[in-house]
Amino acid sequence: MECTRNRAPKTSETPLIRTITFPRPSGEEIHVTALFDPGKPLPSAWEEVAAAIRRKSATIISQDVFGLEAGNGAGLEMLQGAFGQVKWPVTWLEDGTPGLAGTQIWAVSGVPVHPVFADGTVVGSVFEDDSARYCRLGGVYPRDARAARKDQAHDVFLRLEKTLRDQEMAFSDVVRTWFFNEDILSWYSDFNQVRTAFFSRRAVFNRLVPASTGIGGRNPLGTALVAGLLAVQEKTRGHLRAFAVPSPLQCPALEYGSSFSRAVEIATPGSRRLLISGTASIDAEGHTVHVGDLDGQIDMTMRVVGAILSSRGMTWRNTARAVVYLPDLGDAPAFQRYCAARNLESLPAVFSRSTVCRGNLLFEIEVDALQPLPLGEAEDDKAGKKSVETREKS
What is the per-residue pLDDT across 345-385, written as a single tens digit (0 to 9) for each?
Answer: 999 999 999 999 999 999 999 999 999 876 444 434 333 33
* Burial (0-12, 13-18, 19+ Cβ within 10 Å), 208: middle
Cα separation, 329 vs 352, whole angstroms: 7
Residue predicted with more confidence, 88 or 39: 88
Which pTM value belongs to this model? Answer: 0.93
Q: How far apart are the first and last CA of the chain?
A: 21
Do 188 and 278 contact (CB within 8 A), yes or no? no
Tell me the mean pLDDT in the region 23-39: 89
Q: In the structure, what pLDDT confidence band is assigned to residue 112 with cuts at 50, 70 and 90?
A: very high
Q: How many Å apart are CA 60 and CA 83, to the nearest integer?
A: 10
Which band of pLDDT confidence, cut at 50, 70 and 90, is reported for residue 392? very low
Structural contact between residues 22 and 5, judged by C-beta atoms closer than 8 angstroms: no
Q: Is the pLDDT of residue 312 over 70?
A: yes
What does the longest C-alpha to C-alpha distance in the chain come to?
57
Fold annotation for 263-386: 60s Ribosomal Protein L30; Chain: A; (3.30.1330)
Q: How far apart, in whole angstroms, are the C-alpha atoms of residue 133 and residue 246?
A: 25
- The CATH code of domain 116-235 reads 3.30.1330.40
H or E element: which one contains 230? strand 225-234
The CATH 3.30.1330.40 domain(s) of the chain lie at: 116-235, 263-386
* 26 confidence band (pLDDT: 50, 70, 90): confident
Rounded to an integer, the average pLDDT of 205-231 is 97
CATH of domain 10-111: 3.30.1330
